[in-house]
Amino acid sequence: MTQQDVACYSLDQFDGMRAAGRLAAATLDYITPFVKPGVTTGQLDKLLEEYMRDHGAVPGTLNYHGYPKASCISANHIVCHGIPGDKILYSGDIINIDITPILDGWYGDTSRMYYVGTPSVKAKRVCEAAYFSMMAGIEKALIGNTVGDIGRAIETVAHNERFSVVEDFCGHGVGKSFHMLPNILNYGKPGEGMMLKEGMIFTVEPMVNTGGPEVQILSDGWTAITKDRSLSAQFEHTIGITPNGPEIFTLSPKGYTFPPYPEDA
Ligand code: MF3
Ligand code: CO
Ligand code: CO
């Protein structure tokens, strides 16, 4: 891959991403009070789909390479791409909800962790580690830095907590399509890899495991779980590179960052 393969947008095109990102984040805000013991992931998916459509968007995951749902909902040892269905949420579960509404052709890709009832101390710790590793990566998203600077910042936060980062999935360029270059690996060496340029738009989405980094894909062809069945957590923001630093398109309108959210009280 060369630097030329990477889509760069002009800063006046960022408005489309601002709107798509804001809707994605508002959708995650909206679902917060529904994440309770007893609800199924399929019921949450229906609500998410309705909200996105009611606000003029189409769920980007639906039929994406055959993916069947409007969201990915990944509980506990599921690393990512959990398919919503009959799974009932129980107190103590931690879940990631990942959505990508397409609004006026622009893809806003974001995910957060949610607590169902009261999770264990370790479950809370891995959620917080995933959040702070994502934010550490975003802080390095500066013109002239490289993707290796982002990856190193991400893995350092996870390793300081004695957790591992998944190496089989990465952040990605996004904008007028869902997945493109650059790849934003969740590990790396400072100064190595592709250089960051003004107008690049990509996601930062580290997955942090309490055990080892290895994953396994279930027979549905999508669901990724930790090989050792340890807990996994992930957050995702979509950002754009500007001369003033990273602009986060998917910030919560309600100011939510990591759980517990105000509704959980
Ligand atoms: N939203 C995921 C990401 O962050 C991709 C999901 S693709 C799907 O890149 F097909 F699994 F939905
Ligand atoms: Co993504
Ligand atoms: Co996503």
Per-residue model confidence (pLDDT) at position 165 = 98
Tokens of 25: 């984040």
Q: 90: Cβ below 6 Å to ligand 1?
A: no
45 Cβ inside 6 Å of ligand 1: no
Whole-number pLDDT of residue 214: 98
Q: For 92-110, what is each residue's pLDDT tens digit?
A: 999 999 999 999 999 999 9
* pLDDT score at 204: 99
Whole-number Å distance between alpha carbons of 23 and 103: 8
Ligand nearest to the CA of 81: 1
**178 pocket-lining for ligand 1 (C-beta < 6 Å):** no
Residue 211 contacts residue 228 (beta carbons within 8 Å): yes
The C-alpha atoms of residue 29 and residue 254 are separated, in whole angstroms, by: 7
Q: Which H or E run includes 248?
A: strand 245-248
pLDDT of residue 203: 98
**Residue 50, token pair as written in the block:** 């309705």
Shortest-distance atom of ligand 1 to CA 99: 1
pLDDT per 10-residue tile (average), the chain, 265 residues? 71 94 98 98 99 98 98 99 98 98 98 98 98 99 98 98 98 97 98 97 98 98 98 99 98 98 79
Give, using CA atoms, the residue closest to atom 2 of ligand 1.
98
Q: Is the CB of 205 under 6 A from ligand 1?
A: yes
Minimal CA–CA distance to 240: which of 105, 143, 123, 135?
143
Radius of gyration for the alpha carbons in the chain, expressed in angstroms and rounded? 17
Mean residue pLDDT across the chain: 97
Q: For residue 229, give both structure tokens.
A: 């069945």
pLDDT for residue 1: 45
pLDDT of residue 4: 53
Exposure b/e, 225-245, CB count within 10 A at least 16 = b? bbeeebbbbbbbbbbbbbeee
Give the three-class secondary structure for 74. strand
CA 131 centroid distance within chain: 10
- At 71, list the tokens: 């969201």
Residue 195 is classified by DSSP as: B
- Cβ–ligand 1 distance for 100 under 6 Å, the answer yes
Q: In what order do the strands lie in the sheet with 101-103?
A: 58-59, 101-103, 106-107
Ligand 3 midpoint to CA 172 (Å): 10
* Cis peptide bond prior to 59, omega within 30° of 0: no
Indicate the Cα dihedral angle 17, 23, 26, 27, nearest 10°. -120
What is the pLDDT at residue 3? 52
Residue type, 78: I
End-to-end CA distance of the chain: 48
Choice from 27, 69, 81 to test ligand 1 binding pocket (greatest atom count within 8 A of CB): 81
